[in-house]
Structure 1
Amino acid sequence: MDEEEDLESIGEQLYTRIYPKHKEAAGKLTGMLLELPGPVLRQMLQDEAMLTAAVEKALRALQLPQEPRETCKDEDDASVSSDSLGEQLFELVDVYNTGHSQKITGMLLEQHKEAVLNLLSDPKLLEEQVNHALKTLKEQNEETDVSDTSDADDTEKLGEKLFSLVEEMDPRHANDITGMLLEMDPAALQQLLSDHTMLEVAVQKAQAALNT
């Protein structure tokens, strides 16, 4: 009962907030928003921008023309319905403000149509799936971050070595020249560090570019 009472009070608060701007559609909009998970609704009541965004999405959904279904075009219907499924799912996923709505929607749409329909009708299930997809994305990002940081460390070390060598040749422009050389491939940079003549040529080219 508590949950029902809680939902009822959230609904009343939502209606009160929505009514001044959307008198005619306030009831429908409130009903649509109440399909979202409780934690999201509570967050909306505290976050004006999130509430406004959700109301605008619900409004757009209300304004979409309801096209009559034609039974004779099964294939067309299947593609149209899967498109609209994707749109509906995106609208719901986007409310979570994860910053990855497009990717998460794509991940969820890889499931069977029945499973996607379940997500649209079951806010708790949707919340679980969104959190799971978000976790997966974060893990992927962490993996790429780790490789990025090791690359960044390598580049930093190369840069330090390169700077000390360039500084001996041209102390005044060492920073600029090192910056220009660091745009080269790491393999080419390694070559410069091991071949002093090549480095001199590269520094001269960079000096010429700086003087133009």
Structure 2
Amino acid sequence: MDKEEDLETLGEQLYSMIYPKHKESAGKLTGMLLELPKAVLSQMLQDEAILTAALEKALKALQAAPKSSEVTHNDDDDVSESSDSLGEQLFELVDIYNTGYSQKITGMLLEQHKEAVLQLLSDPKLLEEHVNIALKTLKEQNIEETDLSDASEADETDRLGEKLFSLVEQMDSLHANDITGMLLEMDSASIQQLLSDPAKLEAAVQKAQAVLDAVS
């Protein structure tokens, strides 16, 4: 009940600010903005610039919604122009949520049919749900990519280490572990050179042996 009262109070405050400038559509605009998170609504009430920007986007969404029937009757060029226009309008609405992924999320949402995109433009609550889903997907992909990257680097190091150890062991079986560990501190490209050039490997092993002799 408290949440409903809060929303009603926010709605009244928003309406009183919107009505003087948009008398005919004040009700619809207020309803659209009320679908946004409360934190965003509070910012709008405190900062008229944020409210004005949100209203411009909401107005564009209202203007775009009735055009759904026109899109199917236009030729290919008009449909292409319409797609660009929809993309711009969608980006502006998505950008309100400040996710940091506005461009990517807009691209994901534009992969749907035009009718579905138009519905998103005219239904802020539905748009918010889709933005949240897209954001979650993007974050999961980033985590997976990071994990895969870390895993592949670790696998590569292990693989090079095994090859290196087998060669070093033939030259100095007593200190093979220590020498291999020292050589693995080099970058992958340098290690690959050692593996493909016996002379370079032998020189590197001798340097490592000298270091070990100095330490022991």
TM-score by length of 2: 0.57
Tell me how far apart the structure 1 counterparts of residues 85 and 55 of structure 2 sit (CA, whole Å): 16
> Which residues of structure 2 form unaligned runs of 5+?
162-177, 205-216
Q: Quick one: which amino acid aligns to residue 9 of structure 1? A: T
SS of residue matched to 1:97: coil
Matches within 5 A, 1:69-148: 74-148=75-149
Which residue of the other structure, out of 177, 181, 187, is the alignment partner of 1:182? Answer: 187
Asked if 1:11 is matched to 2:24, the reply is no
Q: Assess, with a 3 A threshold, how the Cα gap between structure 1 residues 156 and 183 changes in structure 2: closer, same or farther.
A: closer
Deviation at 1:84, TM superposition (A): 1.4
Tell me how far apart the structure 2 counterparts of residues 161 and 12 of structure 1 sit (CA, whole Å): 75
Deviations 1:165-185 (A, max 9, x none): 49xxxxxxxxxxx6xx5273x
Deviation at 1:105, TM superposition (A): 0.7
Tell me how far apart the structure 1 counterparts of residues 179 and 43 of structure 2 sit (CA, whole Å): 50
Tell me how far apart the structure 2 counterparts of residues 161 and 86 of structure 1 sit (CA, whole Å): 59
* Corresponding residue for residue 207 of structure 2: none
Asked if 1:198 is matched to 2:216, the reply is no
Tell me how far apart the structure 2 counterparts of residues 102 and 7 of structure 1 sit (CA, whole Å): 30
Tell me how far apart the structure 2 counterparts of residues 63 and 36 of structure 1 sit (CA, whole Å): 11
- C-alpha contact 1:15 1:30 (8 A) present in aligned 2: yes
Deviations 1:100-150 (A, max 9, x none): 111111111111111111111112221221122122222222221111122
Q: Quick one: which amino acid aligns to residue 128 of structure 1? A: E
Larger gyration radius, structure 1 or structure 2: 2
Tell me how far apart the structure 2 counterparts of residues 94 and 77 of structure 1 sit (CA, whole Å): 26
CA RMSD of aligned residues (A): 4.7
Asked if 1:44 is matched to 2:40, the reply is yes
- C-alpha contact 1:11 1:30 (8 A) present in aligned 2: no
- C-alpha contact 1:57 1:91 (8 A) present in aligned 2: no
> Which residues of structure 1 form unaligned runs of 5+?
167-177, 203-212
Q: Assess, with a 3 A threshold, how the Cα gap between structure 1 residues 24 and 47 changes in structure 2: closer, same or farther.
A: closer
SS of residue matched to 1:35: helix
Q: Quick one: which amino acid aligns to residue 110 of structure 2? A: L
* Corresponding residue for residue 164 of structure 1: 182
Alignment length (residue pairs): 177
Deviation at 1:57, TM superposition (A): 3.5
